[in-house]
Amino acid sequence: MMNSTVVVGYDQTPHSDVALAEAAREAAMRGADLNVVTAFQRPVVPGSSVPPADSQDAARKTAEAAAQHGADSVVKRRPGLRVTPYALVGSAGKLLAQAAHGAELLVVGSRGKGGFSDLQVGSTAMRAVAGACCPVLVVRGETDADHSRIVAAVDIDEPCETVLEFAFLEASRRQARLTVIHVWDEPWILAYGQQDPGIADDIAAIEREREDRLSALIHSVQRRHPEVEPFHQVATGSAGRLLIEASHRADVLVTGARRHGEGHGMQIGPVTHTVLHYSTCPVAVVPLS
């Protein structure tokens, strides 16, 4: 049987070193191979549509050296892991998404700007998520903190079993606790309830119904993972704000994204966009079924 594969983007910078370490951890937990991919662009020569062969060769050799450096550093720390370096020509985000076709997981780093409290995900990571057909783990900052907790954000009005499955497996592999959050964000009805106390019973009924639906979804997946004891909650308010707060107490925040109509890549909705930019822990974006 062929091993599964984890793919990681690597460009020999500090943020990609952190992603590389997390990708190696994920591959080891999964018993998967690790492909270290370095992207490079053909050199642009003014006045010519075709760059000189020696310039192309130099760019490729530099990328090959970077990929090999990443692979060697992983093997030193995890000698039992099978690691293969690749140097591929193309735009990094799109190329990584293509390289991860058929992979179990794509791992990319977050190239931030601004202070540590306001790290912005770079365009490479966003393009990789938008183009990938497999789950993408966007690694933000250092990953040394160990909260022993996975947080999964689910929308029970969408097919969310793949998000739950990923989160349960991640919790099982890490021997971590699992918290599943569904945020009910209907400000108009909540505001109306504050003005009209008579509607409070209706709001409570809606919350109970959502609690029951969430519980049923979780129990369905938990039957396959009895070793994981999940906690779940139905919250109201801003989904982005509540999930960013939850990321402070998590090792990984798992969320979902709809596939594009043709089945390739994911549509990054506003909540996923927010957590990708402001989460303080790695974010796993899982394609919805």
For residue 207, the model assigns a pLDDT of 82
CB 221 within 8 A of CB 161: yes
User: Could you tell me the CA-to-CA distances from 47 to 44, 50, 51 in Å, in that order?
Assistant: 9, 9, 10
HSE-CB at 263 with a 13 A cutoff on CA atoms is 1
Domains, the chain, ordered by start: 1-144 (3.40.50.620), 145-289 (3.40.50.12370)
CB 177 within 8 A of CB 120: no
For residue 286, the model assigns a pLDDT of 97
For residue 38, the model assigns a pLDDT of 97
Rounded to whole angstroms, the Cα distance separating 200 from 87 reads 60
For residue 113, the model assigns a pLDDT of 40
For residue 198, the model assigns a pLDDT of 64
3-state secondary structure at position 106: strand
pTM over 0.85: yes
Alpha helices for the chain (secondary structure H): 14-30, 53-77, 92-99, 123-131, 161-174, 187-195, 200-222, 239-247, 270-278
For residue 182, the model assigns a pLDDT of 95
Beta-ladder partners of 178: 150, 230
- Tokens found for residue 104: 């179990």
Per-residue pLDDT tens digits of the chain, which is 289 residues long: 457 999 999 998 888 999 999 999 999 999 999 999 999 987 666 655 555 666 788 889 999 999 999 999 999 999 999 999 999 999 999 999 999 999 999 999 986 443 333 445 678 999 999 999 999 999 976 566 789 999 999 999 889 999 999 999 999 999 999 999 999 876 555 555 555 666 667 777 888 899 999 999 999 999 999 999 999 999 888 899 999 999 999 999 999 999 876 667 899 999 999 999 999 999 999 999 7
For residue 215, the model assigns a pLDDT of 96
CB 139 within 8 A of CB 19: yes
Question: DSSP state, 31?
Answer: T
For residue 197, the model assigns a pLDDT of 60
For residue 200, the model assigns a pLDDT of 66
For residue 122, the model assigns a pLDDT of 79
For residue 115, the model assigns a pLDDT of 35
For residue 42, the model assigns a pLDDT of 77
Rounded to whole angstroms, the Cα distance separating 122 from 204 reads 41
